[in-house]
Each structure stands twice: as C-alpha cells, then as structure tokens.
C-alpha cells in the first residue's frame, strides 16, 4: 500500500475520512471537564445503601457479646442493662451494643477522615486546581469513590468535595448515637456499616492525596526492600523517632537533612504506620516496627528526639519521654499533649527553649519548621548525651530490679496477652531468664503490668533486658509500600479469582493485639502464600509479617514476589492503603465482569459477596480504626476474621452455619438453595488454627466453577486436617457435585456424604443475595 | 493472695476471699457476678442437668496434657455432648477421644442463645454448658452473650480463672489446685 501523508491544515488531521481538529478536541475536553466538575455533586444515596444493609444483615445477623452490662452515657444513668433490660432512655443491652458498634465505627472513620482532610488541605494549599496524577497503568483510579459517589476525582478540589461529603455523613451518623435518636439495632448496624465505607472513602482519598503530594510509588510491584526491627537502628547516630500515621512531618525532616547533607549521619526511624510512610518516601529511613514496640523502644532510651503526628500514640508519651529526657515535637492539633504552640517562633529559639529544659517539648504546626527544628535539635541532644545521659531512671541490672517482686500475680492478671509473668520472674530470680526473654514478640507492649505492680517493677524493661541478644539481632526486611494494584494485574487474575483457580485473596490488616504473639500473622500469611493465594497486607500487619524468617533465614517479603498474582505478597502501604485491598475487589468486578461502578454500590457489593473469594484477616485488631476498616469491608460483602481479642468489639456478623442458604439466580430470577458462602461476615476466631481453617472456607463463593470449587475445597480440607486433625464436618454444604470432591480424600468423603444423605445440586448461574 | 487458701471437701477457706473471687482480670467487673462453684457443687449441678453440653477449647493444645486427660474423664463419666473448638481435636486425638462435634466457639454460642435451636441431635437446646480451655477473653465474651441473651441456659466454667460472666465458676486457682479440683469433680460424679 502506498504511504500517504495525512493532509495537515490548521491543526487538523485527516485519516481515511476521519477529520480531527485538535482545537475541537481541546474544546470538547474542557467542556467535559467543566460538566464533570459542575454537574456531578458528590453525594450518597443512603436510603438505597440502607436497603442493601438490611438485606445483607438478613443473611449475616448481628451477634452481640457485651463487654460491659451498663450504660453511663447520660445523666439518667448509670443504667443496668444486664439480661437485656432497658435503661432510662429506653435502650436495651442489644441496642446499646449496636450503638457502640456505630460509635466505634464512627471514631475509626473520623480518624481516617481527619487524616485525609489534613492531606487534602495540604494539596489545596499547594494548588487547588492541581490535576491528580495516577499511574499510566491504572485507569480505575478511585474504585471506592467512583462506586459510592459516581465521581472520579481528577483535581485537588474534587478530593475536597469528596471529603466534604464524608464529613457530612459522619456528622449525621454520630448524631444518630445521641440519646433519644435511633432506636433499632439493625438501623444502628446499617449506620455502622455506612461509617465503615465512609472510612474507606477517606482511606482512598488520603492515599490519592499523599501519593500526589509526596510522589510516592503508584502501584509498582517491585518496590525496594527496607530494614525493619528494633536492631536496625544505629543508636551511635542521633536518632529521630517519628510516631503515628502521617507522612507530613517525617518527609520534611528527611528533606531538610538531605538538603544539609546530614542524612547519612542521622538515624531517622519510624514506628507504626508513619514508619511505612517514611519508607515509601525515602528508603534511607528505618522501620522500628508496629505499635507494640512503642513503649519498649522509648523506655530503652534509644531516641534522641520523638516527633509525633497523629494516631496510635500512647497517651502517656510525654511522661515516658520526660522520664528519659527525650524531647518531643508534636505536629498535629489532634495530638497536642498540652505543649506550648511554637509554630510562630524561630527554629533557633525553639531549639534553645528545649535544650535549656524550659519545656519537655513543643507543638509546631508548620512542617517546614518541624523539619529544621527536628534535625538541629536531634544533633544537639545527641551531643549533650555523649556525656552520661541524664536519665531520671538509671538503668539497673535485671537482678536488682527483680528482687523486690513479691510474686503477687497482679501483673499476670491484667496482662492482655495472658503471659505467665509471675513464673517468669520466679525463674529469673533463680537465674533463668529464658521464659522472660520469650515474651519479646508476644508482649503487646500495653504496660498494664507495670501499672498493677505494687513494687513498681519495670516489667517491660525486664523483658527487653532478658531479650537483649534477640533484640540486637532483630534485623529483617520488608518490601516498601507499593500503593494501588494495577489494572493490568487485575486483568490477568480476574478470571482465575472469580472462577476459583486462584483460591482466594487474603487481606491482612490492622494492629498488633495478638493473643499468642506476632509470629502467628506471618504463619497465616505463609500458609496461604504456599498454596497460591494472593496475600495483601497493610499497616501494622504488613510490618509484623516481616518479623519472621524461615529455616533459610529469609523473610516472607524476600521469598514471595510483590505482584498481585498467584502466590504474591503485597505490602500495599500504611493502614490508609487498606483502600487498595478493597479497591482490588471492586476492580475485579469492573474489569473482569464489566459491572459498572458509578453510583452502583449494591450491584458491585452483590457481585463481590457472591463471586470474589477475598477474605480480610485482622488478627491483631485493637483500634476503632481497625473496626471501621473491617466493618466497611463487610458492607462490600467481604468477610473479616478477627483475632480472639477482637471479640471485645462486642459485635460480629454471623451466617447460619447449619443449613444451606436461600439466594437468587439472577439469570432466571429463581430462588436457589446454595452453600452458605461466605459463611460469616465478621467472626472472632478462637485460635490461629481456627483462623487458618476459616479463611480457606470464607474464600468459597457460590459462583465457583466445579474446578475452582475443587481447588478451594482441596485447600480447605488440607488445612483443616493440618490444624484440626480431622475432616471438616460441613463438606456436604459445600460440595455441589461429585466432581468437586478432591481426589485425595474422595472415598472417605463420599462415604461421609452418603451417611448424610447428600444429593448433588445445581449451582446458580448468576448468584445474588438481592431477593427483592 | 492466690495461693493462700485451702480446700476441705467443698468448703473453701480463703485468707483473701475477695481477691480470689474477683474476675481473673479485675477490670472485667460485672453487675451479676458468677457464683464460685466448688467441685461437689459442680458435680451436683452436672448430675441435675438433663441436657448438658461440654465445650473443650483450643487451650487444651498448649496447657499440660493432664487437663485434657481430666476433661475427657469428666466427659466419659456423664452423658454429655462434647464440642471441640479452635482445634482442640489435636489434643483430644492424643487420647483417642473423638468429640461429638467440632465447631467454632462463637458459632456454638450463637446457636445456644437461640431458645428454639434443636441441638445437634434434634432433641432441643441444652440446659447446662460446661467450659474448659477456651481463651479467657473470648470465653468471657461468649459467656456474656449467654448471660445476657440466653436465660434458658446455665453456664459452668471449669477453668482456673474466675469467669464473672458465667453463672457458676471455679475461682482463681493455681495449676496444681486446678488439677485437684478437676480430680475431685471426677470423684463426685460417681
């Protein structure tokens, strides 16, 4: 074919009769953008969402386990609500539990929303019309926001509008918890679920804002490996410890140190999600670990300076640091600790004020100033402490500290992890500190033992001293937070996940309140990685799974690739990056099944709950944020397994574990009896063994193909036998046809099925729980 | 002080009775505290029950095997439905003991709180639920559910930590005393 040059005239191109004028295109795009920003109001259709909630809760009924039988929220009380009695306002114990669920969800969501608001305000300050940048490999840039609001934010202003909508919704939700408002437990629950997805909206906005503000990774799978652990911090250098969740102060500290060429001489480390944020910003920063290390690390006197931002900061941080002569810089209105506001003061004056001992710390709300003050101050504090440190608590040896213990057992009685502290102290008195040392990694670092001790024995310090060698060698590797999952990855795995060939996606989330130590979360991750599940992690869970090495001395992040693919282990980022775990399920619905997203929550959630084998495991869930994340996941139809301690959240959502489930086949609108899959929406597992078996079961979906179901059942049976030593007793509910029975146990299972009078049944073509 | 008391038959003499009868974690105070139930009373209660259920929890996998052995002996002495939870099957297997059912402790409590539940055998709900080996905090929450929402069920905990949310509970006792109390209970069940 002869080549013909397109005819050019006035910025026009003519290709085979296609006449394109770039000016017209430009005008068209500008108009479209105008229409987008003018016509699309960010709003939510709560009545429609409530309908979904009530439907969902008819399958997964709230289960209440009161932590307290009383209500003390108004001056009519205290009211005794035990045995489901009513209080003065008319509320009974059941409703009170649902009200607390709403409040917990609102507190969690508000915390993430305030975090997101802070980031959006910074973005607006930079440029309100700033066009948001996303990865070229991602078209579905904000799956949560698009599905819930119909808006796909393209500018900082649009993120602001989304946040205004979230803030309005949260205000309404909190108002419902006031005395004399909502009065039905299911409506409280609907609102708790609503707060949960408001939390997810905030998470997504926060991530988009900070990725744009700080140019963080936008979905690359092969992010660098970073150092993590108490042993990675070089205390010979000036140590700046940042605690919390915001990247704002630490990024400025890193920038200033870099600008002054001081980065190599400083140790800038982080604790809790701020640590992951720092790692995303600069691979030179170090990660101490999750929230459970806070008390121990500070009491060890390692930091020369502590910089606080927001969330997961101990309320006694000021006293703790003062005891060790560690100055504090608070940087957020949300955590000001009674410190003087020195935002308008010159950096030099602030540094002198602290060095002179005029104040244990300061509040600085200007992040550029925080960067300068933190670096200058850390250098001066370190220089001062090169002479013997003026700690009010001089370190004594373990033997001296322990001798006053009267073995009353009070420490043991209040221990969150129920560690045998008394026995360990008794053995330590006789020179054997091995039991005491073994508490490192099991102790959740709450410090209640020290509060209960009549002899003021610093138990946390004793554990650290006993485990000194272990701590010094605590050097692990974690993959830096990658951010969102790429569309191209979803395209590759969408079908295998929906049909069951990839048996499931396990999303590890939440804090470090483990019942039997942090190793369990790594063991859970490894069990599923070995079986070809995709494991994604965020927040403290992402850090804790790094603190484990196999026989070859490798961490899970070194062993498994960071792709969203079979056997992939993804560190999505800090806890706000949980948005990407939820987002990936939404993307599967859209990219693989073409389910439209805009203002289409019910259809998307109905698709997820029936077809996408994803399960959240929040094994160490402690905070209200963790509850909000899990509750939001539940509304999307994603089940969540919580650890045994999380039973103290007081509310779970349970399905009927004894009978098949009545759902609808959308293809012919017929009612079908099918397996109860997923069985539960929110469940507190008793042990790691139960969590292991349940997660495999909760990845089963009505839509599985026979081959996919066989793969899922094969994993379920195998895991069950490993952790329970027997065959599951509910296989008759999940086997639809003989060909779904795994070959390995076929004879044994067939025999059992026969005993139960099992009959094959058809699976629905297009399963749905929307019965209306 | 925990260790400063002696047991004579079913009569308990405490030097510090308040402390031993408090919840293991004193923060778990409750409006309706459990009654402390020594072995003889426990045996009588079990014997009087028409439809008892025995929940054996996951701690059996990590506490000394003697407790599993005693739990199995109790189960064998009475006509009770045994439910293994959280993976305790592994511990029970060592004694070749097969529980009647395996289920999540939250799931079984959810079924128990429904007065219309037909039970595992279709003959109706249970009237007494015995607990051993369920992690303390989870057990406490489950007992709270039954205490507040299942008036048709009585609960008796045979753990070594006092459970305020149970109807009847062993007090806070040492491991040796626990073994002793379980042995006595077995004897009284004759």
For domain A46-214, the CATH class is mainly alpha
Q: Which single residue is written with the structure tokens 């016509």?
A: A39
Q: Do B26 and A413 touch (CB under 8 A)?
A: yes
Which of A67, A644, A725 is closest, CB to CB, to B89?
Answer: A725
CATH fold label, A225-385? Rossmann fold (3.40.50)
pLDDT in tens, A196-248: 999 999 999 999 999 999 999 999 999 999 999 999 999 999 999 999 999 99
Joined tokens for residue A186 = 């299911």
Q: Mind telling me how many Å the CA of A293 is from chain B's nearest CA?
A: 23
Instruction: Quote the CA–CA distance of A76 and A94 in Å, as a whole number.
Output: 19
pLDDT at residue B11 above 80?
no
Residues of chain A contacting residue B57, judged by C-beta atoms under 8 Å apart = 686
> If we measure between CA atoms, which residue out of A256, A425, A427 comes closest to residue A329?
A256
Q: Do B149 and A648 touch (CB under 8 A)?
A: no
pLDDT in tens, B63-84: 999 999 999 999 999 989 999 9
Reported as a pLDDT band with limits 50, 70 and 90, residue B36 is: very high
Instruction: Determine the pLDDT at residue A12.
Output: 54
* Whether the complex's predicted ipTM surpasses the cut of 0.90: yes
In this prediction, residues B7-22 reach a mean pLDDT of 54
In this prediction, residues B121-140 reach a mean pLDDT of 97
In this prediction, residues A283-287 reach a mean pLDDT of 93
pLDDT in tens, A173-185: 999 999 999 999 9
pLDDT in tens, A23-71: 676 666 666 555 554 446 788 999 999 999 999 999 999 999 999 999 9
Q: Which residues contact A32 (CB under 8 A, 6 or more apart)?
A: none
pLDDT in tens, A316-362: 999 999 999 999 999 999 999 999 999 999 999 999 999 999 999 99
Q: Which single residue is written with the structure tokens 């949260």?
A: A170
Residues of chain A contacting residue B85, judged by C-beta atoms under 8 Å apart = 686, 690
Buried b / exposed e over A333-345, threshold 16 CB at 10 Å, is ebbebebeebeeb
Instruction: Determine the pLDDT at residue A484.
Output: 97
**CA-to-CA separations, A497 to A503, A564, A582, A737, in angstroms, rounded:** 7, 11, 15, 20
pLDDT in tens, A541-571: 999 999 999 989 999 999 999 999 999 999 9
pTM (2 d.p.): 0.94
Interface of A with B (CB under 8 A): 63-67, 69-70, 80, 82-84, 93-94, 408-409, 413-414, 418, 515, 644-645, 647-648, 650, 652, 654, 657-658, 683-687, 689-690, 693-694, 723-726, 729
pLDDT in tens, A351-401: 999 999 999 999 999 999 999 999 999 999 999 875 544 444 455 788 899
CB of A582 within 8 A of CB of A501?
Answer: no
CB of A224 within 8 A of CB of A137?
Answer: no
* Pairing of the two strands B101-102 and B52-56: unpaired
pLDDT at residue A285 above 50?
yes
Residues of chain A contacting residue B172, judged by C-beta atoms under 8 Å apart = 413
pLDDT in tens, A81-139: 999 999 999 999 999 999 999 999 999 999 999 999 999 999 999 999 999 999 999 99
pLDDT at residue A697 above 80?
yes
Which of B86, B110, B145 is closest, CB to CB, to A686?
Answer: B86
Domain boundaries, chain B: 5-188
A2: phi then psi, degrees, rounded to nearest 5:
-70, 140
Q: Do A647 and B31 touch (CB under 8 A)?
A: no
Closest chain A residue by Cα to residue B106:
A684
Edge-first strand listing for the sheet containing A286-289: A361-363, A328-330, A305-308, A239-243, A267-271, A286-289, A225-228, A476-479
Q: Do B135 and A418 touch (CB under 8 A)?
A: yes
Instruction: Quote the CA–CA distance of B89 and B98 in Å, as a whole number.
Output: 8
**CA-to-CA separations, A163 to A139, A148, A218, A453, in angstroms, rounded:** 22, 13, 21, 46
pLDDT at residue A9 above 70?
no
Instruction: Quote the CA–CA distance of A122 and A364 in Å, as a whole number.
Output: 16
Reported as a pLDDT band with limits 50, 70 and 90, residue B22 is: confident
Instruction: Determine the pLDDT at residue B3.
Output: 38
pLDDT at residue B9 above 60?
no
pLDDT in tens, A571-601: 999 999 999 999 999 999 999 999 999 999 9
Residue A41 CB: number of other CB atoms within 10 A?
A: 10
pLDDT at residue B185 above 90?
yes
DSSP assignment letter at A110: H
pLDDT at residue A411 above 60?
yes
In this prediction, residues B21-36 reach a mean pLDDT of 89
Instruction: Quote the CA–CA distance of B146 and B138 in Å, as a whole number.
Output: 13
Reported as a pLDDT band with limits 50, 70 and 90, residue A505 is: very high
Instruction: Quote the CA–CA distance of B8 and A375 in Å, as a whole number.
Output: 68
Residues of chain A contacting residue B144, judged by C-beta atoms under 8 Å apart = 65-67, 69
Q: Do A648 and B111 touch (CB under 8 A)?
A: no
More confident call, A8 vs A722: A722
Instruction: Determine the pLDDT at residue B16.
Output: 55
Instruction: Quote the CA–CA distance of A92 and A96 in Å, as a whole number.
Output: 6
Q: Kindly state the helix (H) or strand (E) to which residue A18 belongs, with its residue range.
A: strand A18-21
Q: Mind telling me how many Å the CA of A725 is from chain B's nearest CA?
A: 6
> If we measure between CA atoms, which residue out of A727, A732, A675 comes closest to residue A699?
A675
Alpha helices, DSSP H, located in A60-155: 93-126, 143-149
Joined tokens for residue A751 = 């025999």
Instruction: Quote the CA–CA distance of A759 and A737 in Å, as a whole number.
Output: 8
More confident call, A420 vs A498: A420
Instruction: Determine the pLDDT at residue A397.
Output: 86
Instruction: Determine the pLDDT at residue B21.
Output: 78
pLDDT at residue A315 above 60?
yes
Residues of chain B contacting residue A515, judged by C-beta atoms under 8 Å apart = 135, 137
Reported as a pLDDT band with limits 50, 70 and 90, residue A302 is: very high
Q: State the architecture of B5-188 in CATH terms.
A: 3-Layer(aba) Sandwich (3.40)
Residue pairs spanning A and B at CB distance below 8 A: 125
Instruction: Determine the pLDDT at residue A30.
Output: 61
Reported as a pLDDT band with limits 50, 70 and 90, residue A701 is: very high
pLDDT, averaged across chain A: 93
Which of A70, A83, A726 is closest, CB to CB, to B151?
Answer: A83
Per DSSP, the residues of A412-455 read HHH-TT---HHHHHHHHHTT--HHHHHTTTT-----HHHHH-TT
Residues of chain B contacting residue A82, judged by C-beta atoms under 8 Å apart = 30-32, 147-148
Instruction: Determine the pLDDT at residue A657.
Output: 84
> If we measure between CA atoms, which residue out of B173, B141, B21, B25 comes closest to residue A451?
B25
Q: Do B58 and A690 touch (CB under 8 A)?
A: yes
């Amino acid at each position: 074919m002869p080549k013909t040059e397109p005819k050019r005239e006035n910025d026009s191109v003519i290709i085979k009769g296609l006449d394109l004028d770039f000016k017209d295109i430009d005008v068209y795009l500008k108009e479209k953008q105008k229409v987008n920003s003018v016509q699309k109001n960010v709003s939510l259709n709560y009545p429609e969402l409530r309908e979904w909630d009530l439907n969902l809760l008819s399958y997964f009924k709230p289960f209440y386990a009161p932590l307290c039988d009383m209500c003390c929220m108004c001056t009519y009380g205290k009211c005794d609500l035990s045995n489901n009695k009513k209080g003065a306002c008319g509320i009974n114990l059941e409703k009170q539990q649902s009200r607390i669920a709403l409040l917990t969800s609102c507190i969690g969501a508000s915390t993430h929303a305030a975090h997101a608001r802070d980031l959006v305000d910074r973005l607006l300050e930079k440029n309100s019309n700033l066009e948001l940048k996303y990865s070229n490999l991602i078209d579905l840039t904000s799956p949560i926001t698009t599905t819930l609001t119909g808006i796909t934010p393209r500018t900082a202003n649009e993120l602001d509008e989304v946040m205004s909508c979230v803030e309005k919704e949260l205000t309404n939700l909190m108002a419902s918890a006031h005395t004399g408002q909502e009065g039905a437990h299911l409506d409280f629950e609907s609102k708790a679920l609503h707060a949960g997805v408001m939390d997810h909206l905030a998470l997504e906005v926060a991530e988009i804002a900070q990725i744009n503000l700080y140019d963080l990774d936008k979905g690359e799978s092969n992010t660098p490996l970073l150092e993590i652990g108490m042993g990675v911090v070089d205390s010979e250098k000036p140590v700046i410890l940042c605690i919390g969740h915001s990247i704002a102060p630490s990024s400025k500290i890193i920038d200033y140190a870099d600008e002054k060429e001081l980065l190599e001489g400083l140790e800038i480390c982080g604790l809790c999600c701020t640590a992951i944020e720092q790692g995303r910003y600069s691979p030179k920063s170090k990660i101490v670990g999750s929230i459970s290390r806070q008390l121990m690390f500070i009491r060890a006197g390692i930091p020369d300076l502590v910089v606080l931002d927001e969330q997961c900061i101990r309320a006694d941080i000021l006293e703790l640091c003062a005891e060790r002569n560690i100055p504090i810089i608070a940087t957020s209105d949300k955590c000001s600790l009674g410190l003087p506001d020195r935002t308008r003061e010159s950096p030099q004056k602030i540094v002198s004020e602290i060095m002179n001992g005029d104040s244990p710390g300061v509040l600085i709300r200007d992040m550029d100033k925080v960067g300068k003050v933190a670096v200058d101050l850390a250098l001066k504090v370190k220089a001062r402490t090169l002479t013997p440190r003026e700690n009010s608590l001089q370190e004594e040896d373990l033997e001296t500290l322990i001798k006053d213990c009267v073995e009353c057992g009070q420490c043991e009685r209040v221990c969150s992890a129920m560690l045998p502290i008394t026995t360990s102290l008794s053995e330590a008195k006789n020179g054997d500190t091995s039991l005491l040392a073994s508490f490192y990694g099991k102790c959740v670092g709450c410090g209640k033992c020290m509060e209960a001790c009549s002899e003021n024995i610093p138990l946390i310090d004793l554990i650290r001293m006993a485990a000194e060698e272990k701590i010094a060698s605590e050097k692990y590797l974690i993959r830096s937070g990658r951010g969102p999952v790429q569309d191209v990855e979803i395209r590759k795995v969408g079908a295998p996940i929906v049909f069951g060939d990839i048996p499931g996606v396990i999303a590890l989330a939440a804090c470090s309140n483990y019942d039997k130590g942090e190793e369990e979360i790594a063991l859970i991750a490894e069990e599923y990685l070995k079986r070809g599940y995709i494991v994604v992690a965020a927040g403290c869970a992402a850090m804790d799974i790094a603190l484990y090495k196999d026989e070859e001395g490798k961490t899970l992040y070194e062993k498994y690739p960071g792709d969203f693919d079979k056997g992939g282990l993804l560190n999505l980022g800090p806890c706000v990056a949980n948005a990407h775990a939820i987002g990936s399920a939404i993307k599967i619905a859209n990219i693989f099944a073409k389910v439209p997203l805009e203002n289409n929550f019910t259809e998307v959630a109905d698709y997820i709950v029936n077809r996408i084998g994803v399960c959240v495991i929040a094994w160490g869930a402690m905070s209200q944020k963790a509850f909000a994340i899990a509750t939001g996941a539940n509304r999307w139809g994603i089940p969540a397994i919580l650890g045994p301690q999380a039973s103290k959240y007081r509310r779970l959502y349970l399905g009927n574990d004894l009978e098949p489930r009545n759902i609808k086949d959308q293809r012919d609108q017929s009612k079908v009896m099918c397996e109860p899959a997923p069985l539960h929406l929110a469940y507190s597992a008793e042990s790691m063994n139960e969590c292991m078996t349940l997660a495999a079961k909760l990845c089963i979906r009505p839509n599985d193909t026979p081959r996919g179901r066989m793969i899922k059942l094969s994993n379920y049976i195998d895991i069950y036998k490993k952790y329970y030593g027997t065959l599951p007793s509910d296989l008759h509910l999940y086997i639809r046809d003989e060909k779904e029975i795994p070959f390995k146990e076929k004879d044994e299972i067939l025999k059992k099925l026969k005993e139960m009078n099992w009959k094959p049944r058809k699976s629905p073509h297009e399963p749905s729980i929307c019965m209306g | 002080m925990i260790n400063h008391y002696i047991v004579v038959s079913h009569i308990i003499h405490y030097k510090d009775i308040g402390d031993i009868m408090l919840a293991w974690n004193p923060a778990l105070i409750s409006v309706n505290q459990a009654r402390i139930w020594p072995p003889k009373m426990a045996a009588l209660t079990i014997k009087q029950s028409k439809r008892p259920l025995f929940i054996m929890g996951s701690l059996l996998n990590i506490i000394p095997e003697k407790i599993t052995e005693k739990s199995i002996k109790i189960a064998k002495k009475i006509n009770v439905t045994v439910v293994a939870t959280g993976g305790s099957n592994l511990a029970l297997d060592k004694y070749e003991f097969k529980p009647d059912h395996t289920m999540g402790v939250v799931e079984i409590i959810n079924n128990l709180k429904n007065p219309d539940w037909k039970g595992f055998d279709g003959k109706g709900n249970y009237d007494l639920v015995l607990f051993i080996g369920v992690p303390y905090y989870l057990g406490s929450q489950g007992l709270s559910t039954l205490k507040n929402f299942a008036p048709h069920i009585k609960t008796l905990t045979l753990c070594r930590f006092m459970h305020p949310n149970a109807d009847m509970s062993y007090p806070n006792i040492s491991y040796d005393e626990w073994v002793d109390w379980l042995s006595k209970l077995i004897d009284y069940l004759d």
